[in-house]
Amino acid sequence: MTALRSGRLAVVGAGAIGLSAAREAARAGWRVTVYDPAPATGASWVAGGMLAPVTEAWPGEEDLLALGLDSVARWPEFARALSDETGTDAGMHPAGTVVVGTGSGDRDELNSLAGYLESLGRPAQRMTGRELRRLEPSLGPDVRGGLSVPGDPSVDNRRLLAALRAACERLEVTVDERAVTEVREAGGRVTGVGLADGTGAGADAVLVAAGAHSSALHPALDGLVRPVKGEILRLTRRAGALPPPSRTVRAVVDGRPVYAVPRVVPGHGDLVVGATTAENGFDTAVTVGGVRDLLRDAERVLPGIAEYELTETAAGLRPGSRDNLPLIGRIGPDGMFVATGHGRNGMLLVPVTAAAVAALLRGQDVPDAARAADPRRFAPVGAERS
């Protein structure tokens, strides 16, 4: 691998991952062009915004937990720096999360989560329904118990995107709305990107950050990332309705997961309710069943939302990887990098991913927690890892 410390960088994808990486690269002296036919409108725009390393934790995914904990620790400084730099609040909301259950089966699931977290030395505070309602008066009487997880905050994803776009603009990052169809190479090194209009654009390095669309851009990524659809709702409080919760509420209702994330500054709803999970290729239709399930389950937990206005329904495509860890690192020809496959944790993993890309572009090692996300873990047996 030839080290390249600056030059022309093409970033494919103007979501939160692509824009934050573009910002880091531009600060390091790269001339950056971000390609996206619809900047900042994909999964990053639809996201709920939970920064939830603990409440998204799953037994067997300890590398992902470690990566998430590293990233959540970076979030306050990342948000502060971005806000200072742009004069645009990056939207981080420090209030934590409560995880609640309704029926006895749901409480068993929460007990398993609590036990798992205790086994990792990250105990969550178990609470009765009454204690939870004292903390969050918006919770309804069907909530029987749960956990408080103060370390899982949230971000207003749309404020974050606005701040990242402002930062990129200040750093003279070019946003090109032509669609990229491929990463081009010659002699084992990237030469640029091919565009849907049949032309191409030269680059010394290419970062693929195209979310669920990444796999199609180079054969080395074939089959590594797939779309996982999620539907969300945005609800806006009307006069006379109860206030939304002050922190994220995650719930299991008759076995179905649902979450509600408050937005502190109105503009795109007061509460984001999500999210369904389905694997139907690149379909982004919002279904009647998806909206019905989310509304029914959210209302069981937060009855006051019956008086809210349903102001938006949307669907996005999470970029799912084979092992739920993202792909952050070098892969394919010299000069090609990837930052995708963030699955359910895209917003959470923005700061650590941006730091990892910055290190890679400097020819340095990624942060320790990001080493497990090296995309070459999927390389065919015997393939070289330089």
Q: Which of 40, 70, 344 is nearest to 209 (CA)?
A: 40
Judged by beta carbon, residue 52 or residue 132, the one nearer ligand GLY is: 52
Cα 108 from chain centre: 28
Kind of pairing between the strands at 256-262 and 271-274: antiparallel
Contact string 35-74 vs ligand GLY (x = CB under 6 A)? -------------x-x------------------------
Is 250 near ligand GLY (CB under 6 A)? no
Is 262 near ligand GLY (CB under 6 A)? no
Judged by beta carbon, residue 97 or residue 214, the one nearer ligand GLY is: 97
Judged by beta carbon, residue 50 or residue 252, the one nearer ligand GLY is: 50
Minimum Å gap between C-beta 205 and ligand GLY is: 29
For CA atoms 307, 241, 297, 156, the dihedral sign is positive
Read off the tokens for 265: 């500054």
Judged by beta carbon, residue 32 or residue 349, the one nearer ligand GLY is: 349
Read off the tokens for 195: 């565009």
Minimum Å gap between C-beta 37 and ligand GLY is: 23
Report, in this order, helix, strand and coil percent for the chain, each rounded to 5: 35, 30, 40
Read off the tokens for 188: 């084992």
Is there a contact between 273 and 260 (Cβ–Cβ < 8 Å)?
Answer: yes
Judged by beta carbon, residue 29 or residue 58, the one nearer ligand GLY is: 58
Residue among 184, 218, 237, 344 that touches ligand GLY (CB under 6 A): 344
Contact string 300-319 vs ligand GLY (x = CB under 6 A)? ------------------x-
Judged by beta carbon, residue 230 or residue 245, the one nearer ligand GLY is: 230
Minimum Å gap between C-beta 256 and ligand GLY is: 13
Applying the rule CB under 6 A, the residues between 201 and 230 that interact with ligand GLY are 230
Minimum Å gap between C-beta 337 and ligand GLY is: 24
Minimum Å gap between C-beta 189 and ligand GLY is: 36
- Give 265-308 as a DSSP string: S-SS-SEEEE---B-BTB--PPPHHHHHHHHHHHHHH-GGGGGS
Q: Which of 68, 72, 144 is nearest to 109 (CA)?
A: 144
Helix axes 16-27, 157-170, angle to 10 degrees: 30
Is 274 near ligand GLY (CB under 6 A)? yes
Residues that bind ligand GLY (CB under 6 A): 48, 50, 230, 274-275, 318, 344
